[in-house]
Chain A
């Protein structure tokens, strides 16, 4: 069974530029999460989807961040415009029948210069 797939693995951009991250969850997992992780810290939830519905986006900075999961499968997280403080690892996770057992992708390491 394939795990959670994320791309790109690394992204370097200049501040004020847009950037997008893509995630394909484990097949059959209805719940998808986007997290932000700073170095040496635990993940911080940005948004949670149940199928195509964003059911928890309270921690998503909506002035510059947006996300979509149009067909309830893969998802895209976008930042526009990026700021220096957005440099971090962006993790995608999915869960299935056991809701709090989350499976993570390898993450996208974003560097904003």
Chain B
């Protein structure tokens, strides 16, 4: 059974601080995605990483795919209250791009 473990489950920090959340698995994925979900809304796709070792930046967010394509990290620099939300990672199974394995999410709260 493929599993994606996210850590930490919950993180509350002050505005301006940096943070990193992690997404780990023992399985290899063909690609991995990060979504952000706000209360009362569906998840919104932030980024897709495909190549082992790939790094993508989206303003203050930096996403990295592990060399072996089994893990990923999301780093936020100078967090802002608008970054508050549930961050979900989802890995695409190697044998099926339609099958996404979802992590349980990291609930992030940025206090002003």
Contacts and interface: CB of A to CB of B under 8 A. Distances in A.
A17 B109 CA distance: 37
Interface stretch (B14-22, B39-47, B58-66): B39-47
Contact of B45 (A40, A41, A102): A102
Contacts of B88: 42-43
B102 A43 contact: yes
Interface string B14-52: 000000000000000001010000001111110010000
B31 A100 contact: yes
Nearest to A98: B48
Contacts of B98: 31, 48, 55-56, 95, 99-100
A63 interface: no
Contact of A105 (B42, B45, B97, B105): B42
Interface in A68-109: 91, 93, 95, 98-107, 109
A106 to B, nearest CB: 5
Contact of A106 (B4, B9, B40, B100): B40
Interface in A41-66: 41-45, 48, 55-56
Contacts of A55: 98
